[in-house]
Amino acid sequence: MTTLTTSKSTKSNGFYKRLQSLIKRQAKPYVHPYLGGILLGIVLFSAFFFTGNGLGASGGINRLIVLIEDAIYPAHIDRTAYLATMAGGDRNPLDSWVVFVTVGLMIGGFTSGLLNGRLNVTTNRGPQMPKKLRWVYAFIGGAAMGYGARLARGCTSGQALSGGAVLSVGSWAFMFAVFGGAYALAYFVRKFWN
């Protein structure tokens, strides 16, 4: 009499085959921009309705950095008024709604990339742009955006989406400045993308 048993390697081999089939999927087309805008509006409205807060991400990243800083040098956190409001004393910097929005953003982006066949490591650049220079420009732009988000007390999602939705004059001024600055700068960097 012969008995069939499934070895552990066969089970794990099946898991890896399913995982590879998810990762190596054919990339699906992006959603239509108007449909994406409508869906984003629904998500924003739901965030206001259910939590009383809008959307934003820079505050969540900021709190994750403060968590690490508090673990390394808590005395500095307690002496700095801005940081003490988040993690001073026995406060937990992760005790904020924006941390959950940020974590959800990362999980949602990963899941979307996995399900739509776009989970890969790539550098978006024009044919004239060397890859290393693109990374340098991305770092400089990201640092400027991070500094600007702290200076403006919110990133584009917090300022433009959430602030614009409640008709905040500062948020509307911010968005006009963002679009105006982008259009003014686009002329000078167009050669890197063509």
Q: How confident is the model at residue 8 (pLDDT cuts 50, 70, 90)?
A: low
How many structural domains is the chain composed of? 2
Last residue in a domain, options 96, 120, 144: 120
Token output for 105 = 């953003």
In a domain, 50, yes or no: yes
Q: Please write the tens of the pLDDT for every residue from 83-107.
A: 888 888 888 888 888 888 888 889 9
Per-residue pLDDT of 96-138, as tens digits, reads 888 888 888 899 989 988 888 888 888 888 888 889 998 998 9
Task: List the domain range (segments joined by +) for residue 193.
Answer: 124-194
Q: What is the pTM of this model?
A: 0.70
In a domain, 104, yes or no: yes
Could you tell me if 89 and 70 are in contact, meaning their C-beta atoms sit under 8 angstroms apart? no
Q: Are residues 35 and 98 in the same domain?
A: yes
Domain boundary among 120, 152, 174: 120
Structural domain contains residue 56: yes
Q: Nearest 5°: phi and psi at 39?
A: -65, -40
- How many helices and strands (H and E) does the chain possess? 10, 0
Asked if residue 157 and residue 111 are part of one domain, the reply reads no
Q: Would you give the distance in Å from CA 14 to the centre of its chain?
A: 32
Q: Indicate if 160 and 192 belong to the same structural domain.
A: yes
Same domain, 111 and 144: no
DSSP for 140-158 reads: HHHHHHHHHHHHTTS-HII
Structure tokens at 68: 């690490």
Question: What distance in Å separates the CA atoms of residue 122 and residue 98, rounded to the nearest whole number?
Answer: 28
